[in-house]
Structure 1
Amino acid sequence: MGSFVISKRKNGEFQFALKAGNGQVILSSEGYTTKAACENGIESVRKNSQDDKRFDRLESKNGKPYFNLKATNGQIIGNSEMYESVAARENGIASVAKNAPDATVKEELE
């Protein structure tokens, strides 16, 4: 089962990472000024990850596939790592869709 891990950046902002059951990060968030906003971001991932149209499939300048997950308002709520292939990116999207709805939430704020 997956988990969301809330952590704090050096600049004091909160962020979350969605990890698959094997501990690999499959989605990372932007920085949030409050923990409550970060938690709202997690809820947005839970909801929007179930709609395939919310995933933007992109390619970096060096040709590596990746994706962004967007909210209904078009704002990016999470982005993936760079993948070696389009098939690997699709597996990443499927993993987010599978893990996000029931993922536990952990805090690593120290």
Structure 2
Amino acid sequence: MAGKFEVYRDSSSKYRWQLEAGNGEVVATGEAYESKDGAVRGTEAVQRAAAGATVTDLT
């Protein structure tokens, strides 16, 4: 099963997103946004950036 983004309100009534892997494990979370639209745009930005992302080993 593919991963999914979830947009939710935190305890401070700010909007956040989290990325869940196919197994339900949260693998990434976003910053707090004032608006739901801002949080949704944050997920879209991550999707665009990840599409061409590379892995750099800094060890």
| TM value normalised by structure 2 | 0.83
The count of corresponding residues between Structure 1 and Structure 2 is: 58
The secondary structure found in structure 1 opposite 2:51 is: coil
Identity, % of aligned positions:
26
Q: Structure 1, residues 25-56: CA drift from partner, whole Å, max 9, x if none?
A: 11100000000000000110110012325x78
Structure 2, gaps ≥5 residues long: none
Higher relative contact order (CA 8 A, sep 6+): 1
The aligned residue for residue 30 of structure 2 is 29
- Residue type matched to 2:31 in 1? E
Q: Which residue of 1 aligns with 2:15?
A: 14
CA distance in 2, matches of 1:39, 1:52: 20
Q: Given the two structures, how large is their TM-score scaled by the length of structure 1?
A: 0.47
Give 1:2 deviation, angstroms.
0.8
Alignment of 1:1-110 (within 5 A): 1-52=2-53
Distance 2:28 2:6 in 1: 11
Which structure 1 segments of 5+ residues have no match? 59-85, 87-110
